[in-house]
Amino acid sequence: MSVKALQVVDVNQVELTEFPFPVLEEEAILLKMRYCGICGTDMHGIEGKRSLQFPVIPGHELVAQVAKIGPKALERTFVFGRGPLQEGDWVTLNPRIICGRCYYCQNLPQKPEMCMEARTYNSSIGSHEPPHLFGGWSEYMYILPGSEIIKLPEEIDLKVASLIEPLACSVGMLDRYRRNHHWVDGDGFTLNKHVVVFGAGAIGLLAAACFTLAEPRTLICIDTVPEKLDLAKKLGADVVLDGSNTCAAERIAAVKETCEGLGADIVVEACGVPETIDEGSRMLRRGGTLFEMGHLMNTRPAQIDAHLICRNELEIIGNYAYPSGNCLLVAAQILLENKLPFNDLITLFKMDDFQNALFGKHGNIVKSVFDIS
């Protein structure tokens, strides 16, 4: 029996490859894949813009069913969700396996995403040696000891569940904001803040959705694609600004006018354009917070007014990922409740159609997902 998987063998070289069915070690778990998203970081690796261990099987935004559990696997696996992990359970995965030994693991255990020696499925764990299957763009995926597996709620829409991993980034971001700003505001339960999100791609729209569910005072989304701005409205944006026909000064003025003449409490940079960091900082009120979550690869330096940061006592916070599987579990619960049209963000592709899915021109697609059924 063989297993089909999409393997990246070099820059911009992706092949549909057959691998031998893996022999399961005692401490390992085998997942049968159902859906797996195409993340911007996957594409950056394929295009040679960030480091990948060639050859490698990409894919970490996954929905899968537990096919087989090694006899000692549960001794070394961290399971989030109710009840013991069993074969047949639907799950997703935290793609990082932390080392537990480095400075950050020992001194900042609450921030495992800082681990210096973390191994990451789909990027730093290659497919050159058996059992090969360490990425989600595959019919089966091999799970190593030390992994975090998240059990999915029974009634969740499995296609929508492919958004759990990217949504968890915004869950972690909102949690950080709440912990940093714990004073009672408004009714004490809702966010009650003016929020701006730059970028209506997958990460930006999921951030917008997360803020919508936290009940902001105002939510403003900025992008250059009208169809994506329409989706932002569906996900709760009160105001959308088209960056293709406005200049920075106009957008800054519009935000301040909307936000009581003072500016936004929170700005999220989720589009990966360096200039928006400075523009976003100029939209903030005094004491405001800018979250940088759009630059997961090196682009060009961003210019920013240091005096503005100092005088207005701004917070600028890098938001790389999320601290643990608990954020994934919370994201799963959000998607289970299905209060927003998350399904509208997803476009499905079969693995056989990978050339179109990965390299086709799809300017209006928000989240491409492989259907591996």
Question: What's the CATH code of the domain at 132?
Answer: 3.90.180.10
Structural domain count, the chain: 2
Residues 172, 139, single domain; the answer is no
| C-beta separation of 266 from 196 below 8 A | yes
Give domain status of residue 172, yes or no.
yes
| C-beta separation of 297 from 274 below 8 A | no
Give domain status of residue 9, yes or no.
yes
Res. 163: pLDDT tops 90: yes
pTM: 0.95
Q: What is the DSSP letter of 131?
A: T
| C-beta separation of 150 from 92 below 8 A | yes
Give domain status of residue 334, yes or no.
no
Going by C-beta distance under 8 Å and a sequence separation of 6 or more, which residues neighbour residue 141?
30, 31, 33, 62, 64, 93, 121, 133, 134, 135
Residues 55, 82, single domain; the answer is yes
Give domain status of residue 333, yes or no.
no
Written in H, E and C, the secondary structure of 264-279 is EEEEEECCCCCHHHHH
Residues 58, 94, single domain; the answer is yes
Closest CA to 277 of 297, 258, 298, 293: 293
List pLDDT tens digits, range 165-210. 999 999 999 988 988 876 555 445 578 899 999 999 999 999 999 9
Give domain status of residue 160, yes or no.
no
CATH of the domain at 249: 3.40.50.720
Residues 94, 216, single domain; the answer is no
Cα(90)–Cα(143) distance, integer angstroms: 14
* Other Cβ atoms closer than 10 A to 168: 29
Residues 116, 260, single domain; the answer is no
Give domain status of residue 242, yes or no.
yes
Give domain status of residue 114, yes or no.
yes
Give the C-alpha distances (Å, rounded to integers) separating 203 from 117, 159, 165, 325: 26, 17, 10, 18
Residues 141, 188, single domain; the answer is no
Residues 188, 61, single domain; the answer is no
List pLDDT tens digits, range 351-368. 999 999 999 988 889 999
For residue 311, the enclosing domain spans 166-318
Cα(27)–Cα(367) distance, integer angstroms: 33
Strand (E) or helix (H) holding 235:
none
List pLDDT tens digits, range 36-76. 999 999 999 999 988 888 999 999 999 999 999 999 999 99
Give domain status of residue 61, yes or no.
yes
Residues 94, 178, single domain; the answer is no
